[in-house]
Amino acid sequence: MSKRKTAMLHYSAPPVVGGVEAVIQAHTEVFSQNGYPVSVVAGRGERGTLPADVDFILIPEMDSQHPEVVAISEVLEQGKVPPDFEAMANRLLERLSPVLADYDRAIVHNVFTKHFNLPLTVALDRMVDEGVIRNCIAWCHDFTWTSPSSRGKVHEGYPWDILRTYRQEITYAVVSRRRQEALAALLGCPADAIRVIYNGVSPATLLGLSGEGQQLVDRLGLLASDLIMLMPVRVTRAKNIEYALEVTAAIKAQGLDVKLVLSGPPDPHDSQSMAYYEHLRALRHRLGLDREMRFIFESGPDPDKPYTIDLPVVGDLLRVCDLVFMPSHREGFGMPVLEAGLIGRTVVSTAIPASEEIGGEDVILFDTGDPPESVSNKIIAWAGRNSEYRLRRRVRQRYTWEAIFKRDIEPLITGRASDA
């Protein structure tokens, strides 16, 4: 069965700069990525700024800055309803009705709680009455009636009271618990009648991931992990990879969903290097770490073909990881220590030159003679006290747009409960 169509409505849409417009941009992207047909209906915006498969329908009278709407709003703010108010509301009703009749649901951003275009609010309210909008979701970011800066612009009676009237036919969503409490008090409804759906972030955008890097992160399932450790080294015996596997097994045994990623390849032209690589893969399997430890060499789009990455993609992994792990027996210098330091990632390392001479007390040092459980305890203790790591983990696991869509938005538009 095909997925039903959604219309998203607001006064304006990207590339207009604004908080709500940024949320609309993110919503359209995550809807599109998950295969849900969506269109944006607004009074201002441009088609080219939205995802390629998202339609844009321009209805200029929806814009809060439309000249006629501005003139009407100026009179309304004085507590009077201008003579041309109903004509504008009816014009919007006539323009929007044939458009929205083609959609299974409408997500209306802010129009039911803000005063910026009250003829539009009235038109949408009547379309709910008439069943033109079959499933209406009012996404309420801000409320005029409770705002210190705009409370004086609304008045008792029609049409201002629509902005504080609860309708059972409408599903309400807000962006925080605090907003939920405020809107419930304003509308006179139970707080649990209002959904809380937080805003989210795009890791690829904020971390500056390349297309290849983002695909690799997705294939490895890194963002859902509790702890991401990166070894930006080649597969050689000097890197002490067996020890890294044992430390990873000890961390897993304490209940963390850990990932250890080794970015460099073995030498495919050296039989001893390839034999060492296969030895490590066998050890990984014996330790029960097939899911937790991944060589990039085996993690390409085609798992049967060797895969290598260049330095910019290694940089992607450095920005995604929580710590850089360097249990090397020996290093001439240890460049990953500088790379991790520049982007603010913790280094857990043996006393290689870069760690000892440059990192100093800002690196977590250990000796290869230490039991793996001792090092795993150091890492877990660091994770427990490091507030930056804890917040980063929480955000990447629960507050990316993809996580929010799966947990909160998809159940809202399908009526199915989330497994999250």
Instruction: Tell me the CATH number of domain 6-201+400-414, given options 3.30.360.10, 3.40.50.2000, 3.10.150.10, 3.30.930.10.
Output: 3.40.50.2000
Tens digits of residue pLDDT in 283-309 = 999 999 999 999 999 999 998 999 999
pTM: 0.91
Q: Where would I find the beta strands (DSSP E) of 257-343? A: 258-262, 293-295, 323-326
Which DSSP category does 363 fall into?
Answer: S
Phi, psi of 52 (to 5 degrees): -60, -35
Domain 6-201+400-414 matches domain 205-398 at the CATH topology level: yes
What's residue 2's pLDDT? 52
Please state, in angstroms and as integers, the Cα–Cα distance from residue 109 to each residue in 36, 136, 190, 411, following that order: 18, 11, 21, 18
Tokens 């649901």 — which residue?
105
What's residue 419's pLDDT? 54
Tokens of residue 257, six digits: 């969903």
The answer to whether the CB of 326 falls within 8 A of the CB of 353 is no
Residues linked to residue 57 through DSSP beta bridges, in sequence order: 41
The Cα angle at residue 286 between residues 281 and 291, in degrees rounded to 5: 65
- Give the confidence band of 415 by pLDDT, cuts at 50, 70, 90: confident
> What are the sequence ranges of the domains in the chain?
6-201+400-414, 205-398
What's residue 316's pLDDT? 98
What's residue 311's pLDDT? 96
What's residue 1's pLDDT? 39
CATH number of 205-398: 3.40.50.2000
The answer to whether the CB of 9 falls within 8 A of the CB of 41 is yes
Tens digits of residue pLDDT in 172-182 = 999 999 999 99
- How far is the C-alpha of 144 from the C-alpha of 67, rounded, in Å? 21
Tens digits of residue pLDDT in 212-247 = 999 999 999 999 999 999 999 999 999 999 999 999
Residue of higher predicted confidence among 415 and 290: 290
The enclosing H or E element of 376 equals helix 372-385
Which DSSP category does 356 fall into?
Answer: I
Please state, in angstroms and as integers, the Cα–Cα distance from residue 411 to each residue in 101, 195, 200, 258, 267, following that order: 22, 11, 17, 29, 48
